[in-house]
Amino acid sequence: MINREFFLALDELEKERKLDKQMLISSIEAGLASAYKKEMGESRAVSAKLNPESGKIEFYAYQTVVDGEPQEDSQLSLEEARDVKPDAKIGDVIGEDITPKSLSRIAAQTAKQVIMQRINEAIREQVAAEMNDKEGELVQAIVRRIENNIVYVEITNSQMEGVMNINDQVYGEKYEIGDKIKVYVKKVRDTVKGTQVVVSRSCAGFAKKLFEMEVPELRSGLVKVKNIVREAGNRTKMAVYSDDPNLDALSACIGPKGERVNNVARELNGEKIDVILYTSNIREYIVRCLNPLKSIVGLKVDEAAGKAQVVVPDDKLSLAIGKGGMNARLAARLTGLKLDIKPLSEVREQFEAEEQ
């Protein structure tokens, strides 16, 4: 016997979790049938039916009518079938009500476990489907535990666990149990332990989504991101453009007095951000991507070979290359070209040697 509160609980699950109640009931019935067969040693096909009106579980065993002598318990001879159903014919499936007057304590406990297991499975499947829709999005999360430098978070408003591996963490950021943080959903994957959500704070997508939150023109598609690259904790470079000639894509992303870009930088703990206006003029685009470098002495581009040589004043070489070569690396990734940056003095010496 299942009390009325059980079905009321299913109604609540349907409303709160947006679960299909009928699908949930079917799943529970399948689990109960399996538990019944195991408990009672029943070899016939068994189905369970939940009756909301009476609050009962009804069990039925089924056999297929065959011609001749039955070879297994799931079969029934035509003669035996006609004792139950006079107009039975070969191929019919005959059902028998095998509902016990009462379930044993063990059977009742098994039924309870199956019901809870099926409900939890349905909820997990529902949440996993919702998380699949959130792939490539920002979500709120709470740090629940840290093991071997891997951060495990609970995705807010779900029962899903997010995993932030070392390479998805920002160097220098410290995470404490209970911290509320924003994370980027990289992918949702199935593992032997269930569905796992891989999240990140170091990828370029994280910075891009922060900009979309700050810049309405990005969210609406009036301003578009041509490319975005990032070395988390140090610098992000993002190239933007608009198909509307009357819209200043660069100003839209920077905001009044730099408010929008500063809000993103604040969320990234002060990370430097270069917002660049994209142009199809590759020479001009390379110069812009090398920001904070403002001007160059010479530029030779070989798009077919995917490379470019950039000549800069000697006193601007370190600015063009950046600390540890970071500015040059990001500019190369942003343009898709291999950049060879040289000081003017070196190019002069090489030219003079060739002249001689």
Q: Is the pLDDT of residue 132 over 90?
A: no
284 is a domain residue: no
Q: Give the separation between CA 276 and CA 21, rounded to whole angstroms.
A: 51
Q: Is the pLDDT of residue 250 over 80?
A: yes
pTM given for the model: 0.68
Domain boundary pick from 149, 177, 199: 199
Q: Is the pLDDT of residue 172 over 60?
A: yes
Q: Which amino acid belongs to residue 327?
A: N
Q: Are residues 300 and 192 in the same domain?
A: no
207 is a domain residue: yes
| Greatest mean pLDDT range, 99-108, 112-121, 214-223 | 214-223
Average pLDDT over residues 124-133: 73
Q: Are residues 172 and 268 in the same domain?
A: no
User: Could you tell me which of 257, 258, 325 has the C-alpha nearest to residue 290?
Assistant: 325
142 is a domain residue: yes
Domain boundary pick from 131, 161, 180: 131
Q: Are residues 209 and 173 in the same domain?
A: no
Q: Are residues 16 and 117 in the same domain?
A: yes
User: Could you tell me which of 66, 84, 67 has the C-alpha nearest to residue 75?
Assistant: 66
pLDDT computed for residue 176 by the predictor: 94
Percent of the chain exceeding pLDDT 90 equals 51
Mean pLDDT, the chain, as a whole number? Answer: 86
Exposed (0-12), middle (13-18) or buried (19+): which is 8, by Cβ within 10 Å? exposed
Q: How many CA atoms lie within 13 A of 316 on its CB side?
A: 16
Band of pLDDT at residue 355, cut at 50, 70 and 90:
low
CATH of the domain at 351: 3.30.300.20
Q: Give the separation between CA 314 and CA 333, rounded to whole angstroms.
A: 24
286 is a domain residue: no
Q: Are residues 118 and 8 in the same domain?
A: yes
Q: Containing domain of residue 159, as a range?
A: 135-199
Average pLDDT over residues 135-151: 93
CATH of the domain at 182: 2.40.50.140
Lowest mean pLDDT of 68-72, 120-124, 312-316, name the range: 120-124
Average pLDDT over residues 199-223: 96
Band of pLDDT at residue 105, cut at 50, 70 and 90:
low
65: left (phi over 0), alpha (psi -120 to 50) or beta: beta
Tens-digit pLDDT profile for residues 255-303: 999 999 999 999 999 999 999 999 999 999 999 999 999 888 999 999 9
Q: Token pair 């399996």 is at which residue?
A: 34
pLDDT computed for residue 106 by the predictor: 60
| Greatest mean pLDDT range, 21-35, 156-170, 217-231 | 217-231
Q: Are residues 80 and 155 in the same domain?
A: no
pLDDT computed for residue 150 by the predictor: 94
User: Could you tell me which of 286, 298, 299 has the C-alpha nearest to residue 327?
Assistant: 286
